[in-house]
Amino acid sequence: MKLRNVLGILALIFGTFGVLELIYHNSPGSGADPFSFPFDLTTPEAIDPSLLYGPTEPYENAFRAQYQKGIAFLRKGDWNDAIDSLTKAIEINHHVYWAYSMRGYALLKEGRLDDAISDLTAAIKLNPNDYFTYANRATAHYRQKDWNAVIADVTRAIELKPGKYRWYGARGYAFLKVGRLDDAIDDFTMVTKLKPNDYAGYAYRARARHRKGDRSGAILDYTQAIALNPTNSWALNGRAWEYYQSGVFAQALMDANRAIEMDGKNAYAYGTRGWIEFAQGETNRALADCSKAVELGTNTVVSYYDGGMIHYMSREYDRAVADWNKASEIDPSAKTELKPWIEKAMLKN
């Protein structure tokens, strides 16, 4: 198949399958983020650890005894014991915002997100000017994928305590999730200014630039991320996809191969390499890579989608329908986008 025909077909396909393409090939992370959300708001780099030590005002002895016990448990990572002690402290005096904030922190660490948000909200009502509490509530919202709430809380934390690069990264990530791409780029740019040696800021900015259609900007950012972290498979895969979409197949294949070399379990990279191979006329290799992506199981919906597309363009319509049906079974939300292509494939049989 001629290159121009391949690119023309791919342009038509991705006009319809834009959402799936974004989920997969140019993603430093989707769902369980492969970067493991490097902008965690509760890490020592993000907060002043001395804030964990509690108030200095002279509260009644019974309250202070339970409160200090709770803080001691927090320092040891004994979250349930911390929750119990802080609950007793709050029962004695329910007007101390730090008790709610620290119990909310422990609940967050324990994974009790609704309870954590409730406590952190109570703390904010008692003291609306504590950045630590906003940062923790933002983290709880992040884990619940409530991106607009993340944006609101991180914005307030930044107002109260500017200059924390992780906070700009966290808000940029949330902006990316809700499609506010210019805002995301601005925040990731702040990350690169405040922490110029952190590859993740460049990699996430590349992702935002890709979604804006700025391939050259995305390639530059991925290149910087790779320079800072040469073994990062996800940045290599991101750049491979940008080169592939630009028709620079040789460089794309080099990056995809290197991504797989750095992480043999990176299903995204196998899918990317499959598309490159198909564009170069290597249909069997392309399907083998799509099968490998499915075998790895980290993104089977899009892996079946990729396999279906390659079968479709190879005129193997029955196999295309089978792959797309499997994708729809795994993720019913994909049915709407896949339905017209399944119908077209069935008519061609």
Do 109 and 165 belong to one domain? Answer: yes
pLDDT of residue 191: 93
Q: What single-letter amino acid sits at 299?
A: N
Number of domains in the chain: 2
Is residue 331 assigned to a domain? yes
pLDDT of residue 54: 54
Q: Which two tokens stand for residue 284?
A: 């069997």
**Helix residue ranges, H only, 195-232:** 199-211, 215-228
By CB atoms closer than 10 A (0-12, 13-18, 19+), residue 320 is buried
Rounded to an integer, what distance in angstroms lies between the CA atom of residue 264 and that of residue 244?
A: 20
Residues sharing a CB contact under 8 Å with residue 137, sequence separation 6 or more, in sequence order: 104, 116, 117, 120, 121, 124, 149, 153
Do 121 and 250 belong to one domain? Answer: no
Is residue 210 assigned to a domain? no
Is residue 137 assigned to a domain? yes
Residues sharing a CB contact under 8 Å with residue 130, sequence separation 6 or more, in sequence order: 97, 101, 123, 124, 160
Rounded to an integer, what distance in angstroms lies between the CA atom of residue 70 and that of residue 86?
A: 5
Rounded to an integer, what distance in angstroms lies between the CA atom of residue 28 and that of residue 211?
A: 12
Predicted confidence pLDDT, tens digits, the chain (349 residues): 333 333 333 333 333 333 333 333 344 333 334 333 445 555 544 444 444 445 555 567 888 899 889 988 988 889 999 999 999 999 998 988 899 999 999 999 999 999 999 999 999 999 999 988 999 999 999 999 999 999 999 999 999 988 888 889 999 999 999 999 999 999 999 999 999 998 999 999 999 999 999 999 999 999 999 999 999 999 999 999 999 999 999 999 999 999 999 999 888 898 899 889 989 989 889 888 888 887 886 557 777 887 788 788 788 889 888 888 888 888 887 778 788 888 888 887 6
Q: Which two tokens stand for residue 49?
A: 């650890």
DSSP H or E segment with residue 319: helix 317-330
Q: Residue 277 maps to which CATH number?
A: 1.25.40.10
Q: Which two tokens stand for residue 66?
A: 């339970």
Is residue 220 assigned to a domain? no
Rounded to an integer, what distance in angstroms lies between the CA atom of residue 313 and that of residue 299?
A: 22
Do 5 and 96 belong to one domain? Answer: no
Do 43 and 31 belong to one domain? Answer: no
Do 24 and 106 belong to one domain? Answer: no
* Last residue in a domain, options 178, 202, 217: 178
Is-contact 87 120, C-beta < 8 A? no
Do 236 and 165 belong to one domain? Answer: no
Count CB neighbours of 240 within 10 A.
31
Is residue 147 assigned to a domain? yes
Is residue 121 assigned to a domain? yes
Domain that holds residue 137: 39-178
Do 52 and 160 belong to one domain? Answer: yes
Do 85 and 11 belong to one domain? Answer: no
Do 247 and 275 belong to one domain? Answer: yes
Is residue 187 assigned to a domain? no
Is residue 218 assigned to a domain? no
Do 49 and 21 belong to one domain? Answer: no
Do 77 and 132 belong to one domain? Answer: yes
pLDDT of residue 257: 97
Do 121 and 239 belong to one domain? Answer: no
